[in-house]
Amino acid sequence: MDMATAMPMPAGSGLMLVDPNQFDLSNATQAAEFLGEMLDDRILQHDAQRFSRYFWYGMVAFIGVVAAYNLLWRGSLILSKRAAAANRLKPTGTVPGRLVTAIRNLYRATTYPQITPSRAQFWIQMPPLGTLILLLGYLGFVLALEFINNDVPGAQYWTSRGIRAGWLAIAQIPLLILLAGKNNLIGLVTGLSYERLNILHRWVSRSVLLMAILHVGYQNVGWSKYEVASLEWSTDICPPTGLAAFALLLWLNISTLAPFRNFCYEFFVFQHLLTFFGFIIAIMYHLPSTALETRTYIWVPIALYLFDRLVRTARLVWNNSRSGSTTVVPIDCEVTKIRVRGSRVRKWAPGSFVLLSMPHYGVAQSHPATIASTRESHEGDLVFLLRARNGFTKNLLSSPGMSSTSLVADSEKGKAQSLGGSHRAFIDGPYGGMQGDFAAFDTVLLVAGSTGITFALSILLDLAARAGKQKLPLRRLELVWAVKRSRHLT
């Protein structure tokens, strides 16, 4: 059979119809030429590039809406406090205010419900309904970008879908890093702390994996359909480099499941970063030179990651440039009270936490610890209550000289001192804190269990200090604290 060239598509499409019936695929030369025309993505790249930009248009628009809501929300809280201080009608008492309050309450009632799995399914962590709606909306948006106007006739049908899926996978990587960093632009404009964004980071990673599966699947289905798969794998470096990137991406997602993540968290973090660097290197080798701006989607997350590490390192150096005194007190063989005096960390919001590291009790281990004190209480010292679990917190109680340490009360100053001495503590943070100002509400109900009292206690101390200085809208404050032993109240 004489080889025929690709047939033109209808006017305006810019594509050439690749008809396999025009080639003798049993002939090695014609099979190679058919494969070359099948993989010719000069037009398809522009189409995929356009839809990857649509992805970011949608993300920027959504983040902008959330940021605007965050500004309005915080503005309304400020107005409520000012109205109370001036003995004026609260903004929520007006018709527009009641409407906004009704909408917000409806939003909460719809998004807050959460299904709690049984203990036998501890590794399954179901997010609240609002998060599920957000994730389903995100998935629907990405799938719509993959399949809308993506029905190219001829042999390039599979190539078109595979290329667009690959572009959409690459386009999500900057968002993946933005949601992972402890200092990121999304958290800055939306007011959400990094630990709240982390669940979205994991699900975006799964969306990247889904697009990678579609990319690999569509490409290989097309090659297998026309029996040129072996030719492609033997003559092109894209398949093996792509397989390496896919394997690393698959492990990145599998290793984030709770059983793997919780087995040894420090090792998980180390291997997670190492695997991600390998994934980035494999992707750079996999992307062809004709991939237009795909490498931009790789360089941007690298820059975002380096920025996050630079900010964290600078803050870590500043926080720990002055050596403070750290007192460790075991309480009831279950809880350890840590008090850090003389720290450079002088400003934090109620409910904030830090990543606390004490090399004496665990090398290269940083434990998240909620600050139980406020800037006005405990002479400005940082106070933490940590329940013994595994690793660092367990070492605090089992360390020689600490397990049998008695608690000596200083009746004059109301402090607790440890007979075991003090050790150096390194602090990274603070992070998080209250999403809204509790002082702007009429009624506040705080519910805590065990050492969760640290979050509620910091809020109580903050409200008490502010109530003594200014008039607040707050009229009723209730605390429910569930503990196993009454002596924990001390």
438 pLDDT higher than 80: yes
Of residues 391 and 327, the one with the higher pLDDT is 327
Place of tokens 């289905």: 221
Residue type, 27: N
Confidence band for 411, pLDDT divided at 50, 70 and 90: very low
Give the CA angle between residues 229, 230, 232 to the nearest 5°: 65
Average the pLDDT over 266-282 and give the result. 89
477 pLDDT higher than 70: yes
106 pLDDT higher than 50: yes
The architecture (CATH level 2) of 325-489 comes to Beta Barrel (2.40)
Confidence band for 89, pLDDT divided at 50, 70 and 90: low
Of residues 347 and 331, the one with the higher pLDDT is 347
Average the pLDDT over 259-274 and give the result. 81
CA torsion angle 165 171 173 174 (round to 10): -170
**To the nearest whole percent, how much of the chain has pLDDT over 70?**
79
The mean-pLDDT minimum among 21-30, 77-86, 162-171, 469-478 falls in 21-30
Q: How many helices (H) and strands (E) does the chain have?
A: 15, 12
Average the pLDDT over 124-137 and give the result. 83
463 pLDDT higher than 50: yes
Residue 329: per-residue pLDDT: 80
Q: What does residue 96 show for φ and ψ, rounded to 5 degrees?
A: -60, -35
Of residues 109 and 24, the one with the higher pLDDT is 109
Confidence band for 2, pLDDT divided at 50, 70 and 90: very low
Of residues 360 and 410, the one with the higher pLDDT is 360
Crossing angle of helices 42-85/129-147, nearest 10°? 150
Q: Measured on CA atoms in the order 5, 46, 147, 284, is the torsion positive or negative? A: positive
Confidence band for 414, pLDDT divided at 50, 70 and 90: very low
The mean-pLDDT minimum among 16-20, 176-180, 299-303, 421-425 falls in 16-20
Cβ atoms of 281 and 241 within 8 Å: the answer is no
CA distances from 164 to 44, 239, 294, 345 (A): 8, 16, 12, 48
Residue 3: per-residue pLDDT: 40
Residue 38: per-residue pLDDT: 66
pLDDT digits (tens, 9 = 90+) for 278-332: 999 999 888 877 666 778 888 888 898 888 889 888 888 888 887 777 888 877 7
Instruction: Please list the residue range(s) of the chain that carry CATH number 2.40.30.10.
Output: 325-489
439 pLDDT higher than 80: yes
Both tokens assigned to 309: 């590490």
Cβ atoms of 91 and 104 within 8 Å: the answer is no
Of residues 246 and 473, the one with the higher pLDDT is 246
pLDDT digits (tens, 9 = 90+) for 11-70: 344 555 665 656 656 666 766 776 666 666 677 788 888 899 999 999 999 999 888 888
Both tokens assigned to 43: 């037009």
Both tokens assigned to 27: 């002939």
Average pLDDT over the chain, rounded to an integer: 79
Query: Three-state SS for 353?
Result: strand
